[in-house]
Amino acid sequence: METQLGLIEQSFNLRYSFWVREALDELNDSFTITDPSISGHPIVFASLGFQKMSGYSRDEIVGRNGRVFQGPRTSRRAVMEIREAIREERAIQISILNYRKDGSPFWMLFHMCPVFGKEDGRVTHFVAVQVPIPRKPRRSGGGRGRNGVSLCEERSGFCETLGGSCRREVNSDSVVQLGCFLAVDSLLDSDNIGVDVDEPCEATDVEKRKSATAISNILSVLTHYSELTGRLVCGKRCCLSGMGLLGSSLNISLGRIKQSFVLTDSHLPDMPIVYASDAFLRLTGYARHEVLGRNCRFLCGVDTDSATMFQIKESIRNEQPCTVRILNYRKDKSQFWNFLHISPVRNASGKVAYFVGIQIDEKNENKHGGLSPEMRQLSVVGAVKVAVRSFTMGAGTSKSQ
């Protein structure tokens, strides 16, 4: 957890000057800022307005994924549209039903947009503004369920009966969660609902203008405080080179893999690293910005065997997997024997898109129970291939529409 919190701190501290949080707190709007490069795509900043609206404190929000605010009646379609916007790295305005900490539902206009690094065009963050949509008139029953129990109490009690699974990610494939959603829908009498959760509440032009103004103000603050560090951001992709940049959704999918690995792009000069896992950063001691864009040989040193390096080079040239034992160096110059596996990763059309390199510190290779190092490496290769193929298939479908 400390490592995750450290990455969240770096997410802001490396990009903006120290006073950016104070400046963002002066804005009255309800909004969050997330970082897709960190495992789990967590919230790295939550405004005072969002805390007041949701009922959560900042400590309860930062570090968690935004799905914590979804619930049994949150539209799956709306969630998928948001995920699609993240995958395509574009802005979106959509009405969605979310839940406060006390379990009460409310409609809001969700306006999200990406923030791009000016020097390389990468998405650094997503800003999401939440504008509450006024409730429609209550239906008969005053929001009471059976036996005079409130709708929220009835929903809450039923969810607890099923192990509290209702509040988890609404897009999960879990049968238990799906059963929870269907059971809640069937047990609650829609005629007695006090808040119109079944009928979408569409935002008016007033709410849309308010969200757009809030986005503009937030981007102005982020742009100003990034100028002070020399690592400028902007609301549109300013870099035309775009090649080698991973989509945010692919970053998020790769972030779920907990082993140490990097992804390199063989189609770019010097085959740079385009993704580095959190476990890789812990193993080597480098920060993410110190790794991306570099060739993997920066881990080699004076005592690294040149014959082993040549073996790796030949395997890559022939687009074949290989496994070697190689002496590598951490940022602090300490050595470690790296049980390294390299494998080509093909896109949906069957062409090699990347190479994945999985690192296992030989000193710690027996700390993972009964699973052998080879099996752990092959499981990472499989997970990366699935993520890349899914992303490239989705990108191809999107372009053809």
Query: What is the identity of the amino acid at 47?
Result: S
SS percent in the chain: helix, strand, coil, step 5:
40, 20, 40
Angle between helices 76-88 and 373-400 (to 10 degrees): 90
Domains and CATH numbers, the chain: 2-136+199-234 (3.30.450.20), 140-195 (no CATH), 248-400 (3.30.450.20)
Q: Which helix (H) or strand (E) holds 127?
A: strand 123-132
Coil, strand or helix at 84: helix
Ranges of residues in the chain with a pLDDT under 50 are 139-194, 240-243, 397-401
> Which sign, positive or negative, has the C-alpha torsion 217, 222, 223, 225?
positive
Cα–Cα dist 386/380, whole Å: 10
Distance (Å, whole) CA 353 – CA 346: 5
CB 118 within 8 A of CB 24: no
pLDDT tens digits for range 87-129:
878 899 999 999 999 999 999 999 999 998 887 778 889 999 9
Q: What digits encode the pLDDT tens for the residues 154-172?
A: 444 434 333 443 443 334 3
At a CB cut-off of 8 Å and minimum separation 6, what does 2 contact?
A: none
Instruction: Give the pTM.
Output: 0.57
